[in-house]
Structure 1
């Protein structure tokens, strides 16, 4: 059974080096996927209030033989719940659906700069962490300027920033800031979400060299860059393959070859996206 190593965070906590994404699976699909994934060796599960599947995650974690303190559950605050009191209330709803006494990682899902209430939400998250209800707090889709503002106005940096990242959009500048501030980079859409990366000739060639799949090559690329990918798949064999990326290593040349993409975002732009 494969397991991912852990990385230490800027708040003293730790994070598995690879996790399971659950969007856009519904509750029932999520429960089945997480149940099987925990048996396989996954120890990080990524969900969010806006995904509508926190209940499925909670049921799977509760029924698992894996000790609770070995499973890291990451969920997120949706846009309509920004604000101090709103965040506290939304967290309790997420915690109820997840059936957890505490949540390992609680993130602001989108900054919503036009609403401009993410500082209030961040202060509420600091309280949740200080009260022991959340182990680590973080954000998702935050830009360099927004991260800097969080620290300037509250004195607290996120432990993680979950962002779109893949070989076609490697986020070099933002990752450099993360490294400078010791913020863990968690990556959604790590395989490119249908943009053809797994069919790239260069990636296929590297996969043949190591006798692995193209997806495994891309996930290993993430791991060697020090980021934490959270691939999602409804296929049990692919989930097992996705976790099995710690038994081989890419050369510097191969890392450069895999990362030689078009450098285009395929998801929403956090400067303008509104998620409620």
Structure 2
């Protein structure tokens, strides 16, 4: 049965704003403008960048040149841990606005928790202040991850926000795919109304596992489409990335099918916990 969702279907954040349920990731993309342009032309309305990616300028250009009204495109960027701190965060938000050449940022994330508790909270407070000033719409975190076997090692990064009596993050962006399912942190986020964005949903292009190949055959869809669809059916907001416009388009052709319960169960059975991560997992940050 075809899904009723589309690339422009949104989920409501706890900030009150709507976020499209699929976004284009642009990390390590040397062809950022063509990829973003193809994405926007073919229905994407959500682009995920970061200062660390060094392509905010390209993302902003693609958004402006798309001809799509600014309010219809959801732009995310992030501040990296070496730049954390209250005044530093103010400066870096302004830098991002200047590079993107937009008047507001839809979602601003703390990129990682590696700066330590004091600076994390300073940064979060600064982002909330910039939100209150009207240049950010929603504030969230990234890489506030769980990791195994220590099932609470990532949760304490989120708990410190609650303990400081600050607003709950709108989003937690973490690595998520069948091999790295981070179930305890996913459960925490769902319990606290934090939307989960899934980066590296395509496992960096490693589709070799027999289960992924079998589900691809049984569904009649590419492995990449299967993995994006798995993420959507788990209730996540996947951020597939590619520098090739044709793959950008194909990765999002996921709304004309659903994975069966049996197919989902097979993919769910691939979880390797922390050992399944293909990027990094900063869960041991103090």
Q: Hey, what's the Cα distance between the residues in 1 that align with 2:209 and 2:219?
A: 16
* Superposed displacement of residue 210, structure 1: 2.3
Is residue 231 of structure 1 aligned with residue 240 of structure 2?
Answer: yes
Preserved contact between residue 87 and residue 121 of structure 1 (Cα < 8 Å): yes
Q: Deviations over 1:204-237 (max 9, x none)?
A: 2222222211111111000000001101111222
TM-score normalised to the size of structure 2?
0.90
Which residue matches 1:21? 25
Is residue 183 of structure 1 aligned with residue 185 of structure 2?
Answer: no
Which residues of structure 2 form unaligned runs of 5+? 1-5, 145-153
Q: Hey, what's the Cα distance between the residues in 1 that align with 2:284 and 2:214?
A: 38
Structure 1 residues 83-92 or 210-219, which shifts more? 210-219
Superposed CA RMSD in Å reads: 1.6
Preserved contact between residue 139 and residue 162 of structure 1 (Cα < 8 Å): yes
Which residue matches 1:157? 168
Preserved contact between residue 199 and residue 214 of structure 1 (Cα < 8 Å): no
Which residue matches 1:91? 93
* Superposed displacement of residue 103, structure 1: 0.3
Q: How does 1:1-276 map to 2 (within 5 A)?
A: 3-26=7-30, 29-114=31-116, 116-142=118-144, 143-194=154-205, 196=206, 198-261=207-270, 262-263=272-273, 264-272=276-284
Size of the aligned set, in residue pairs, is 269
Which residues of structure 1 form unaligned runs of 5+? none
* Superposed displacement of residue 31, structure 1: 1.5
